[in-house]
Amino acid sequence: MRADKKIKTAPAVRSKKLSPTEQRNPRSIKLDKMSTVASVQLMLSEEAKVTRALSARSALIAKAVNVVARAFQNGGRLFYFGAGTSGRLGVLDASECPPTFRTAPEMVQGIIAGGDVALRRSVEGAEDDAAAGAREVRLQRVGRNDVVVGIAASGTTPFVWGALAEAKKRDATAILICFNPHLKIPPMLRPKIIIAPDLGPEVLTGSTRLKCGTATKLILNMLTTLAMVRVGKVMSNLMVDVLPGNAKLRDRAMRIVCDLTRDSYAEAKAALETNGWVIRKAVARRGRK
């Protein structure tokens, strides 16, 4: 039997009881009868629970940030694996790294079940294919210096677990982001870090693009942004490696040089033009004051 077939038929990760992501929210039982204003207020009050839940997991999130930063320092990469909204958010976060931090596209990658077509429309059954997740890990030649983050709101997505299982086989660091604290994970599959806050049920039962989507976006924001800070991609709170590919970003680059050197706007522009719009070179040449 082929290795990927073994992964596909391996015992699945289970939830010891119904995941909060699938439970009905008692506060929204009459959602279809509520006024628009009341339903907006309800959704906002539910979303407010997200930051509180993540704050309670801040130490774990910080641990994950440090793991990612060490991987980058050792020449490793960060991979996000997910299906549906989880996969799309991984691709979104990864795609923002090259323009924001001037990183190679390979450094942070988002891989979604069903491939790029799944970014725009649902690919039926893609999330149920554990073998596909494992194949993607092999295709990317994931190794011991890399970090693989599996994102699955309910925590049981086979595509994600196929990727995490293969990553562990290759001695990569495996991290799970989910919103089900009731998982039963076989020891051989257990990731190094599990971030699993309980956000409670969604306003619309099972619609994990809501609170779970918000929480996922916040966690991924922290993983990449703070890891990039740790590896020196930021001075003060300024994105000194930004790739100024349009007028707005060129203006930002000039203001960053002004902030770091106290030069005039015109002087900053001249320094950037002389140095190929590389902020670090412009700042070093002008002298940081």
pLDDT, tens only, 250-260? 999 999 999 99
Domain 3-230 has CATH 3.30.1330.200: no
Instruction: Exactly one of 22, 47, 96, 267 is catalytic; name it.
Output: 96
Predicted pLDDT of residue 121: 93
In whole angstroms, how far apart are CA 79 and each of 51, 71, 131, 256? 24, 11, 17, 30
- 46 included as an active-site residue: no
Instruction: Exactly one of 46, 127, 136, 166 is catalytic; name it.
Output: 127
Predicted pLDDT of residue 8: 46
Which residues of the chain fall below pLDDT 70?
Answer: 1-11, 286-289
Predicted pLDDT of residue 9: 38
Q: From CA 10, how far away is CA 48, in angstroms rounded? A: 38
Predicted pLDDT of residue 288: 55
Which strand (E) or helix (H) includes residue 112? strand 108-112
- Sorted by sequence, the CB contacts under 8 Å of residue 22 that are 6+ apart come out as 154, 201, 205, 206
- 22 included as an active-site residue: no
Predicted pLDDT of residue 286: 63
Q: From CA 177, how far away is CA 191, in angstroms rounded? A: 10
Q: From CA 96, how far away is CA 252, in angstroms rounded? A: 16
What's the whole-model pTM score? Answer: 0.93
